[in-house]
Amino acid sequence: MIPSIYNRPVEKALGFIDTLRVDDTRSEYYEVAELEHSENRVYNQSQYLLSILFRKIGRNDLAQRIRVRHPPEEPDNDLPRRKGHKSNDRWCILEGDTKPFYLANRINSSFNDEKALIALYWLKRNRRQAGEKLWNELYSRYDPAKGVLQMDKADAERDLYPVYKVALLGILAKRIGNVEALMDIQRKLIARQHPSGGWQTDRKTDLTPDGVANLETTVLSTLALLP
């Protein structure tokens, strides 16, 4: 059961996600709703990520529909950025699957999202000390007043604060068991939920939103809100 304080944001997020469905089979979903947007397309990696969320909320039927249409091991189609990658080699760690993980056995990363994912990997491998070290490094980069992570190199090149990286920090806080940090991150995410129910990927330096609500950021933010 989702705690009552989070029922409405999660319900709104699931409603937004449903508007992204390609058709009524609910076996694949567009990245964004805007028809003229360059990302109004189906990304294989996002289909896999969404199937993880559906499993988390007990909708195995919807997860199975996606995985029949888009097998987790299919090549990713976010080109050229993820050329040569499988759709499940990044987010697999969010469901505790370490085998396909593209950063397996890495000790650290200078990128905030990778640092969070590597920490989750080591926690799953029962290397808590390694996971906690990465958590402490990443959390030290979090500004609770602004609700953002200090920009890594990729963010600085764009001069934007990615919301999905804060959502990953929240997911990691949950796994670490830092309730105070988790609740703060959850409050920040809820405050930044778009009226449509989704989350926009980025915040500008003045913390105003940049871009449109999309599937990936919405799924990760929703995962951070779940128990």
pLDDT in tens, 7-59: 899 999 999 999 999 999 999 999 999 999 999 999 999 999 999 999 999 99
Enclosing domain of residue 72 = 4-225
Residue 2 has pLDDT above 50, yes or no: no
Under DSSP, the state recorded for 211 is E
**How many structural domains compose the chain?**
1
The first and second tokens of residue 46, run together, are 């996002």
pLDDT in tens, 101-134: 999 999 999 999 999 999 999 999 999 999 999 9
How many angstroms separate the Cα of 69 from the Cα of each of 60, 116, 129, 223? 14, 29, 39, 22
pLDDT average, residue stretch 199-224? 98
Average pLDDT of the chain to the nearest whole number: 96
pLDDT average, residue stretch 204-214? 97
Q: b/e map of 148-169 (b: 16 or more CB within 10 Å)?
A: bbebbeebeeeebbbbbbbbbb
Residue 201 has pLDDT above 90, yes or no: yes
- pLDDT class of 6 with cuts at 50, 70, 90: low
